[in-house]
A and B are shown apart, each in its own frame.
Chain A
Amino acid sequence: MKQRAIAIGIFWVILLTVLTLRAPGFFAGGNLRDMALSNAPALLVAVGMTLVILMGEIDVSVGSQFAVATVVAGLAAKSGLPLGLTVLVTAIAGALLGSLNGALIIGLRVPSIVATLAAMAFWRELLRWTTGGAWIQGLPASFQWMGLSQAGGEIVIFAATALIFGFFAWAMRNLRAGRGIYAIGSASEAARLAGIPVAGLSFSVFALLGALTGLAAALNAMRFSEVQPNAGAGLELKAISAVVIGGASISGGRGNLWGTLLGAAVLAVIAPSLTFLGINAFWEKAIQGGIILGAIVLERAAAGKRSARAH
């Protein structure tokens, strides 16, 4: 599946070259910073999603989890909880939602796509029903940027994202749990026989994805001074696309976080680069779909060539 990441990488370089020639302003420090900030929460979710997909499972409920966690963050801050605690409570709320998925999937053996499809509708609709779409306003002034200056807040978001990404990129190669996830995705029964606690580890990965989604929601909410309850619409597609574009196999066992980073980076530049190049927004979705399909075809072509050489 390396070929897919390479195919995408080639596409990315072409796009960046076009941007260098046609719209050099794209690479101004300010623009890169803003794009990275806007996409940092999605990257955090994609990190968790990578682990889930490496296990051969999927979670389509992260967008709804993100919305619930965002509202939790708003309510916690409004109730006067200190900011550190607010972030913690939000991450815990996310972890609980993730654990519930995990319990259904591992405990009751409901297929993950079914369980999380149900969770997606359930939490989104429950949130709509209870909040009626009302925003949470009048938050303490210190909510935005965690009481720091704008630059300080941005640094915190960057640092947290980079730290978490770096840790997992390291852990997937070096920790027993990380290798265990690959083992489960390759052959779950073999992993169990090899002494890997399959059930416990699988459950933890779903809870972890929830916690990362909650943390992402908290960090995202703190870029603003008010909380909107319909946050995270379409986040599940964005996260899954990032993982898949990055070369992970949807049936598990193959892929890595650097691929996901590449996938997230490609998705992040599409919308802004269209604006920079003056291309109409109406073609955005078609281009996104075209990239995924193009990657599949290129990957296959590359793999075909290689196997022809081997013969």
Chain B
Amino acid sequence: MRIENRAGSERALVGLILLEILIFAIFGPNFFTTGNAFEIVRLGVELGLLALALTPVIVSGGIDLSVGSMMGLCAVAFGYLWRDAHLPVWAAGSCTLAIGLAGGALNAILISRFKAAPLIVTLGTYSLFRGIAEGLTRGVDNFSQFPPSFLALGQGYIGGIVPAQMPVFVLFTAGFYLLLHRSIYGRAMRAVGFSPSGARWAGIPVENRLVLAYTLSGFTAAVASLIYVAHLGQAKSDAGTGYELLAITAVVLGGTAITGGKGSIFGTLLGLCAIVILQNGLRLAALPAELSGILTSAILVGTIAIGRLKSAPPKPEIDQAEDEVKNSQVAVLSAVILAGALIVAGTNVWLVRSLKGPETKAASGNKVVVGMLPKAKGDPYFVSCKRGAEASAAENGVELIWDGPTDVDPAKQNEIVEAWITRGVSTVAVSVVNAPGISTVLRKAREKGIKVLTWDADAEPNARDFFINQATPQGIGSTLADEAAAILGNKGDFAIVTGALSAANQNEWIKYIKQTVAEKYPGMNLVAIRPSDDDRDRAFAETQTLLKVYPNMKAVIVISAPAVPGAGEAVKQSGRKDVKVTGLSLPNLCKPYVHAGVVQSVVLWDTQNLGYLTVLASKLAAEGTLHAGVTSIDAGKLGKLEVKGDNVLLGKPMVFNKANIDKFDF
């Protein structure tokens, strides 16, 4: 094992971060401001805590894949303890931390006492922790309405500018720094990472040091989870999904060797900065979010590969590098931070002087800028909405920023809106994943004078100006139940294939399907609800199984756009002519199956019109034409549309079947 010149790779990272700052300061409106600097800190805290905890783990030659799932488990546990066990917040929080310790200890025991590989153990607990969280909540339960004193931990500011979670992060950074660089424990972990048997011969209690690293990792994940819940105002089983990979990326980018033995907290902080600044900068510059994954992975491989190319070809080398952080490095770090703070402060003064007011609407002159946020970018449903939105933007002279989460992460929506507030847009239009989670951010946007619209799915009514109402969950649920009843002749067995088990919308629709069936169709019987994870292939396999387990089931209600063709294909391949599928999907995806007679009907509204109307209404709201008290608006090609209270009504959901589906192209 060779030691590379770590100071060199850290210099390269500092250079990279400075380059990022330079680029985004030019292209990202309001990127280079004190407010944004603190926003970046806030967004980085949960991820940063995980990365800090993973540093000793990876230095000791191990890995912990379970930290993201641990966040989900802790969030749910906290919710139960507070809401159902009626514990005060501090007690619930303490118990949650204990659960984190216990989960970490489980990993630790399996790894140290049972001598199992960390990758395998934590792959197991990765599934186990998330699975328990989903099982306990049945995917549905969603805890919110936490007391404001708790929410302040994730949303508040100290002295009006410093995010409340910052002291926690600083404390943990200091703690992990002392542990890894200034204590015998850190020294021991490093030795274990180099060579466990060598460490043992040197008299290091290898097992105990590993137990410490993994237990701390579980504990820190619990802390991250509490901050995450306070930040989003909501606890759900999907908290922290995918965070483990990003945290590992930050650690490795920071120069910690994945094979163990070498690494520093300072490097991890740099790696974290590089990732979080990139994400934030891309959002402010209105560049697609996918770029952050692409660039991060390129940088990750690039930095390591360049390091390898520079170093001599493999030959035994004597360890010369002192692996502790030198005082000179601490001095360099302090100097960089100081210089950064001075530059930011200086620019801020300059900005305030030159603009004389809030920095919003700086960039694009008089043109209305609309930030439009779907639930997920890759979903065919939202791809279709986007087409309508783009057409509308071109027609109405609006600058449209379309961005959203690329995968299921409820925190991403908040981060994007925060970025748009900092950037300065005229209107934000959001298709809400988590109403309680995002409403705080939306209220903040309104305070800053930005018009807030919701579309597709609503937020809390006082968090937005208008809701573009395409159809209520109740309308969708009852229409789907009616369609299933038509297939079944009002009585018999049916099943539901949903998206992800914890998807809020789908669970809302299921609630109304059940309600309608209970009220209108007592002869109908729901036999099973199965997840498809919005994957056509999984929906196919699940429907195949359902067909065999429940031979009397004659109808399947599928409530995920990509899953309807999957279920249709399963029915088609089974050759069963007596079973029909209905569901919520796009006509274009389902046409072949509707014509083949396996999909009876598809329920939806015109998605392109929804996108069209949202952009138009956003413009009208920004210009003041759409304001409280208006009863109708002139919606261009859609004609005159009714405004009822604070709802702009698009119309009723449509039912597409053999007779009419070919008339639609979306």
Interface residues of A (CB under 8 A from B): 23, 25, 28, 30-31, 34-35, 38, 58, 104, 108-111, 113-115, 117-122, 124-126, 128-129, 132-135, 137, 150, 220, 223-226, 228-231, 233-234, 237, 240-241, 244, 249-251, 271-272, 275-276, 278, 280-293, 296-297, 299-300
Are the C-beta atoms of A281 and B297 separated by less than 8 Å?
A: no
A110 engages B589 (CB within 8 Å): no
Residues of B254-301 whose CB lies within 8 A of A:
257-259, 288, 290-294, 296-298, 300-301
Residue B207 interfacial (CB < 8 Å)? no
B121 pairs with A296, CB closer than 8 A: yes
Residues of A within 8 Å of B124, CB to CB, are 289-293, 296
| B residues in contact with A38, CB < 8 Å | 537, 540-541, 544
* Nearest A residue (CB) for B111: A296
Write out the residue numbers on chain A whose beta carbons fall within 8 Å of the beta carbon of B330.
none
CB distance from B372 to the nearest CB of A (A): 15
Task: Please give me the residue from chain B that is nearest to A292 by CB atom.
Answer: B124
Give the CA-CA distance A125 to B290 in the complex, in Å: 5
Are the C-beta atoms of B127 and A289 separated by less than 8 Å? Answer: yes
14 new A-B contacts, CB < 8 A, other than A121-B294, A241-B123, A297-B110, are: A34-B545, A117-B249, A121-B297, A128-B290, A128-B378, A132-B383, A224-B540, A229-B378, A250-B119, A272-B545, A275-B545, A275-B546, A281-B531, A289-B128
Given contacts A286-B127, A293-B121, contact A281 B529 (CB under 8 A): yes
Q: A134, B380: Cβ atoms under 8 Å?
A: yes
B115 contacts A by Cβ under 8 Å: yes
B175 contacts the other chain (Cβ, under 8 Å)? no
CA distance A248 to B316 in the complex (A): 31
Complex contact B406–A285 (CB within 8 A): no
Q: Which residue of chain B has the shortest Cβ distance to A109 in the bound complex? A: B308
A58 surroundings in chain B (CB, below 8 A):
119
CB distance from A67 to the nearest CB of B (A): 11
Interface centre among B115, B119, B139, B379 (most CB of A within 10 A): B119
Within the assembled complex, what's the spacing in Å between the Cα atoms of A115 and B132? 31
List residues of chain A with CB within 8 A of the CB of B296: 118, 121
The residues of A that contact B298 with a CB separation of less than 8 Å are 118, 122
Question: What's the least CB distance linking A243 to chain B, in Å?
Answer: 10
| Given A133-B380, A282-B138, A293 contacting B110 (CB threshold 8 A) | yes
Is there a chain A Cβ closer than 8 Å to B117's Cβ? yes
Given contacts A134-B380, A283-B135, contact A110 B301 (CB under 8 A): yes
CA distance A35 to B377 in the complex (A): 31
- The residue in chain B whose Cβ has the minimal distance to the Cβ of A133 is B378
A118–B249 CA distance with the chains assembled, in angstroms: 8
Say yes or no: is B202 at the interface (Cβ < 8 Å to chain A).
no
The 7 tightest CB contacts between A and B, nearest first, are A286-B131, A289-B128, A285-B131, A289-B127, A133-B378, A292-B124, A125-B293
Determine whether the beta carbon of B114 is less than 8 Å from that of A300: yes
15 A-B residue pairs with Cβ-Cβ distance under 8 Å, sorted by A, are A110-B304, A110-B308, A111-B304, A114-B300, A118-B296, A121-B293, A122-B294, A129-B288, A230-B378, A234-B533, A241-B123, A275-B528, A280-B135, A288-B131, A289-B126
Contact of A231 among B114, B125, B537 (CB under 8 A): B537
**0/1 per residue, B582-602, Cβ < 8 Å to A?**
000000110010000000000
With known contacts A225-B569, A286-B134, A135–B293 Cβ distance under 8 A: no
CA distance A149 to B379 in the complex (A): 31
A34 and B544 CA atoms in complex are apart in Å by 7
Contact of A108 among B130, B248, B257, B308 (CB under 8 A): B308
**B233 close to A (CB within 8 Å):** no
Q: Is the CB of B301 within 8 A of A115?
A: yes
Smallest CB gap from B528: residue in A? A275
Interface residues of B (CB under 8 A from A): 63, 110, 114-117, 119-121, 123-132, 134-135, 137-139, 245, 248-249, 252, 257-259, 288, 290-294, 296-298, 300-301, 304-305, 308-309, 314, 377-380, 382-383, 386, 406, 501, 528-531, 533-537, 540-542, 544-546, 548-549, 562, 565-566, 569, 573, 588-589, 592
CB pair A233 B535 closer than 8 Å: yes
Chain A residues with CB under 8 A of B537: 38, 220, 224, 228, 231
Interface centre among B132, B257, B541, B545 (most CB of A within 10 A): B545
Q: From known contacts A25-B548, A228-B536, infer whether A244 and B120 are also in contact, taking CB-CB under 8 Å.
A: yes
Secondary structure call for the A interface? helix
Q: Which residue of B lies closest to A245 (CB)?
A: B120
Contact A230 to B535, CB < 8 A, known contacts A25-B548, A135-B589, A293-B125: yes
Contact between chains at B132 and A286 (CB < 8 Å): yes
A282 is contacted by which of B114, B134, B379, B565 (Cβ under 8 Å)? B134
User: Inside 8 A of B542's CB, which chain A residues have their CB?
Assistant: 271, 275
- What separation, in Å, do the CA atoms of A88 and B132 have in the docked complex? 43
| Shortest Cβ gap from A254 to chain B (Å) | 12
Q: Complex Cα distance A150/B245, Å?
A: 40
Report the separation of the CA atoms of residues A284 and B127 in the bound assembly, to the nearest whole angstrom.
9
Question: Are the CB atoms of B120 and A296 closer together than 8 Å?
Answer: yes
Which residues of chain B are within 8 angstroms of A276 by Cβ–Cβ distance?
545, 549
Cβ 8 A contact of A224, one of B114, B308, B309, B536 = B536
Known: A23-B549, A117-B300, A285-B127. A137 touches B588 (CB 8 A): yes
Name the distance in Å between A290's Cβ and chain B's nearest Cβ: 6
CB-defined contacts of A290 to chain B, threshold 8 Å: 124, 128, 131
Interface contact B549-A114, CB-CB below 8 Å: no
Contact A133 B528 (CB under 8 A): no
Nearest opposing residue in chain A for B258, CB measure? A111
The minimal Cβ–Cβ distance linking A38 to chain B, given in whole angstroms, is 4
Query: How far is the CB of B538 from the nearest CB of chain A, in Å?
Result: 9
User: Once the chains are docked, how many angstroms separate the CA of A249 from the CA of B378?
Assistant: 37
Residues of A within 8 A of B117 (CB): 249-251
Given A104-B301, A224-B536, A125 and B565 touching (CB < 8 A)? Answer: no
Could you tell me the distance between the alpha carbons of A244 and B301 in the complex, rounded to whole angstroms? 26
A122 to B406, CA, bound (A): 13
**Does A225 lie within 8 Å of B533, measured CB to CB?**
no
B501→A281 contact, CB < 8 A:
yes
Question: What residues of chain A lie closer than 8 Å to B540, measured between beta carbons?
Answer: 38, 223-224
Contact of A289 among B125, B138, B544, B546 (CB under 8 A): B125
**Among candidates A118, A230, A285, residue contacting B130 with C-beta atoms closer than 8 Å:** A285
**Which chain A residue has the least Cβ–Cβ distance from B381?**
A133
Q: Are A128 and B132 in contact (CB-based, < 8 A)?
A: no
Contacts of B115 in A (CB 8 A): 300
Decide if B293 touches A30 in the complex (CB within 8 Å): no
Give CA–CA (A58, B110) in the complex, Å: 21
Known contacts: A30-B548, A110-B308, A251-B117. The answer to whether A240 contacts B123 by CB under 8 A is yes
- For A220, the chain B residues whose CB sits under 8 A away are 537
Distance in angstroms from B301 CB to nearest chain A CB is 5
Given contacts A125-B406, A132-B383, whether A297 and B131 have CB atoms under 8 Å apart is: no
